[in-house]
Amino acid sequence: MPGVMSPEQLFVHELQDMYYAEKALTKVLPRLAEEASDSELSRAFTSHLKETEKQVVNLERVFEQIGERPEAHPCPGIEGIKKEHDDFVQENRPSGELLDVFLTGAASRAEHYEIAGYTGLISKARALREREAVGLLEENLRQEKEALKKVEAISKRILKDASNGGSTSRRSSSRRTGSR
């Protein structure tokens, strides 16, 4: 494609971006499941991996619907979220509990990014009267919203455990948890 000139082409461009992001996430999520020490968090990553694999297929079906070949266009947004994770882990070598808290935040950032991406894609697909595409994209959006809710609940629980005397916060002499 020479350049994005029309709303149709913008839709394809953003679809290629999201396709790249979802494919990247299928490689990241198994690593996150491995890194998490909290078993509920680890399971959440594994179950979202399964959904993400299905989301990739849904996106391929959207490409098909609009008569385009599935193509991934590098998405700096998701790469940035990935890099933030890699840098933090490398620079801080966090303890298991702190790493879990960090991972819930990284996951939330990724979900918010995906939610924004799908919301934009759905409104464009609607404007272009691509009804099948709207349905497929809505299915992905629903899963992202659910994944966000789940990870936020896990984050709350882990933080509560930590401030109730989890090993990491116990060892620190200053009270850092505060009331928000």
* CB nearer Fe ion, residue 145 or residue 157: 145
* CB nearer Fe ion, residue 147 or residue 154: 147
93: left (phi over 0), alpha (psi -120 to 50) or beta: left
Report 69-98 residues binding Fe ion (CB under 5 A).
none
CB of 138 to Fe ion, least distance (A): 13
| By CB under 5 A, residue 55 contacts Fe ion | yes
* CB nearer Fe ion, residue 32 or residue 147: 147
- By CB atoms closer than 10 A (0-12, 13-18, 19+), residue 180 is exposed
Contact present, 11 and 125 (Cβ < 8 Å)? yes
Report 106-165 residues binding Fe ion (CB under 5 A).
111, 114, 144, 147
Q: CA-CA distance, 68 to 62, in Å (whole number)?
A: 9
Hey, what amino acid is at 48?
H
Binding-site size, Fe ion (CB under 5 A):
7
* CB nearer Fe ion, residue 8 or residue 60: 60
CB of 66 to Fe ion, least distance (A): 19
Helix, strand or coil, per DSSP, at residue 66: coil
Q: CA-CA distance, 75 to 62, in Å (whole number)?
A: 18
Interacting residue ranges for Fe ion, rule: CB under 5 A: 22, 52, 55, 111, 114, 144, 147
